[in-house]
Amino acid sequence: MARFKRLTDAEARTLTRAELLDRVEAEQAYWARKRGRSDEDVAAEMEFSRIMHTYLSPQGALDAVRDVLEGRESDYWDTRPGAGPGAGKAQAAEWDCEAYGPEPAKIGALCFRSGALGKRVCNDPGECHTAMTAERQRVYGRISELAAQGRPDFEYLAETFGRPGQLLGGEDEEGQP
């Protein structure tokens, strides 16, 4: 049996998402079997998690499935996510989550959608923007719904936040992101 080889950022940039998925599954199995972890193991597993979340987007995979089910072509699994300009580790480190901004990133709050410190779900700023726009609309809709029911706290929120863009790190002034 071949010795296990950890996935590196440089290697991940050269693989298609389908090839990357095979490597991710192998490394996930390795970490699941591993008993006891040194500080180096913890750092290596965190780096693996970062690579995985940088190059494999759950939303991208779902969008690819939806495209196929709706009769459209999808090349999501055949593309090399790190091959394009700005892709890969440098980009992942260079942009801040729309909801959080730069300050929370200093303590590891990288992605509103991930639910965990030090992890990112969005592959790029465009995906972050799309996801946060949808989340702002969802939250604004719920606030409006509860305010219409006469709930005082939500009436206050509806009055304070007059449009979805004012929520979760959106625009600061009328229509300005």
> What does the alpha-carbon distance between residue 90 and residue 98 come to, in Å, rounded to a whole number?
18
Three-state DSSP state, 173? strand
Flag whether pLDDT at 106 surpasses 80: no
Helix 39-55 vs helix 17-33: crossing angle, to nearest 10: 150
* Phi, then psi, of 173 in degrees rounded to 5: -125, 170
Q: Residues of 35-66 as b/e, b for ≥16 C-beta within 10 angstroms?
A: eeeeeeeeebbeebbbbbbbbbbeebeeebee
- The predicted-structure confidence for 70-95, as pLDDT tens digits, reads as follows 888 888 888 877 554 334 333 344 67
> What are the structure tokens assigned to 176, written together?
């300005």
Interval 158-167: pLDDT, tens: 999 888 988 8
With 0-12 / 13-18 / 19 or more C-beta atoms within 10 angstroms meaning exposed / middle / buried, residue 132 is buried
